Structure 1
Amino acid sequence: MSKFRIYLREAIVSLSRGGGMAIASTISISFTMIIFGLILMLFLSLFQASNKIGDQVELLVFLKDNVSSQDINGLVGTISNMEGVSSVEFVSKHDAWEKFKKYFQNKINISDIKNPLPDTIKVRVKSPDYIAGLAKVISQFPQVDETRYPQQLLNALNILVQKITLIGSLLLIGFALASLVVISSTIKVSVLARREELEILELVGAEPNFIRMPYILEGSFIGFFSSLLAISFFIILSIFLSFAIANTAPPWSFFWPLDTSLWILMCLVVVIVGTFIGFLGSLISLKDVGKFSVTKDF
Structure 2
Amino acid sequence: MKARTLSRHLRESLKNLARNGWMTFASVSAVTVTLLLVGVFTALMLNMNKAATDIEQDVEMNVYIELESGQEEIDSLEDQITSLSGVESVAYSSKEQELTSLIDSFGEDMALFEQNNPLRDKFVVKATDPRQTERLATEISDIENIADVEYGEGKIDQLFETLEISRNVGAVLIFGLLFTAMFLISNTIKITIVARRREIEIMKLVGASNWFVRIPFILEGIWLGIIGSILPIGIVTVLYYNVYEFMQPRLQNSFIQILEFTPFIYQINALILLMGVVIGIWGSFMSVRKFLRV
Q: Give your verdict on TM over 0.5.
A: yes
Residue in 1 aligned with 2:194?
A: 192
Residue in 2 aligned with 1:160?
A: 162
Do structure 1's residue 47 and structure 2's residue 45 form an aligned pair?
A: no
Distance 1:260 1:185, change over 3 A: same
Report the 3-state secondary structure (helix = DSSP H, G, I; strand = E; otherwise coil) of the residue aligned with 1:283. helix
Distance 1:89 1:251, change over 3 A: closer
Among residues 94, 110, 115, which one is paired with 2:96 in the alignment?
Answer: 94
Q: Which amino acid aligns with 2:167?
A: T
TM-score by length of 2: 0.84
In 2, the alpha carbon distance for the partners of 1:30 and 1:101 equals: 56
Q: How much has 1:285 moved relative to structure 2?
A: 1.8
Residue in 1 aligned with 2:256?
A: 254
Q: How much has 1:262 moved relative to structure 2?
A: 5.5
Do structure 1's residue 151 and structure 2's residue 161 form an aligned pair?
A: no
In 2, the alpha carbon distance for the partners of 1:252 and 1:101 equals: 21
Residue in 1 aligned with 2:134?
A: 132
Q: Which amino acid aligns with 2:189?
A: I
Q: Which amino acid aligns with 2:224?
A: I
Residue in 1 aligned with 2:59?
A: 57
8 Å CA contact 1:85–1:124 kept in 2: the answer is yes
Q: How much has 1:251 moved relative to structure 2?
A: 9.5
Unaligned runs of 5+ in 1: none
Q: Which amino acid aligns with 2:19?
A: R
8 Å CA contact 1:11–1:218 kept in 2: the answer is yes
8 Å CA contact 2:35–2:276 kept in 1: the answer is yes
8 Å CA contact 2:237–2:265 kept in 1: the answer is no
Q: How much has 1:98 moved relative to structure 2?
A: 3.5
Q: How much has 1:237 moved relative to structure 2?
A: 0.7
8 Å CA contact 1:198–1:211 kept in 2: the answer is yes
Among residues 37, 49, 64, which one is paired with 1:35 in the alignment?
Answer: 37
Identity between Structure 1 and Structure 2 (%): 27
In 1, the alpha carbon distance for the partners of 2:97 and 2:26 equals: 67
8 Å CA contact 2:248–2:258 kept in 1: the answer is no
Distance 1:59 1:111, change over 3 A: closer
8 Å CA contact 1:222–1:278 kept in 2: the answer is yes
8 Å CA contact 1:43–1:168 kept in 2: the answer is yes
Q: Which amino acid aligns with 1:223?
A: G
Q: How much has 1:213 moved relative to structure 2?
A: 2.2
Residues 14-65 of structure 1 deviation map (CA, whole Å, 9 limit, x = unaligned): 3333344324422331111111122212211111111112222221111122
Distance 1:18 1:189, change over 3 A: same
Residue in 2 aligned with 1:201?
A: 203
In 2, the alpha carbon distance for the partners of 1:147 and 1:274 equals: 52
Report the 3-state secondary structure (helix = DSSP H, G, I; strand = E; otherwise coil) of the residue aligned with 2:256. helix
Matches within 5 A, 1:137-286: 137-249=139-251, 254=256, 256-258=258-260, 263=265, 265-286=267-288
Q: How much has 1:197 moved relative to structure 2?
A: 2.6
Report the 3-state secondary structure (helix = DSSP H, G, I; strand = E; otherwise coil) of the residue aligned with 1:147. strand
**What is the alpha-carbon root mean square deviation over aligned residues?**
3.0
Residues 53-86 of structure 1 deviation map (CA, whole Å, 9 limit, x = unaligned): 2222221111122223133223324434555444
8 Å CA contact 1:46–1:255 kept in 2: the answer is no
Residue in 2 aligned with 1:116?
A: 118
Unaligned runs of 5+ in 2: none
Distance 1:18 1:63, change over 3 A: same
8 Å CA contact 1:7–1:214 kept in 2: the answer is yes
Residues 241-283 of structure 1 deviation map (CA, whole Å, 9 limit, x = unaligned): 1222241047987253457565555444433333222222223
Do structure 1's residue 70 and structure 2's residue 89 form an aligned pair?
A: no
In 1, the alpha carbon distance for the partners of 2:30 and 2:280 equals: 13
8 Å CA contact 1:29–1:226 kept in 2: the answer is yes
8 Å CA contact 1:139–1:147 kept in 2: the answer is yes
Distance 1:233 1:45, change over 3 A: same
Q: How much has 1:90 moved relative to structure 2?
A: 0.8
8 Å CA contact 1:48–1:258 kept in 2: the answer is no
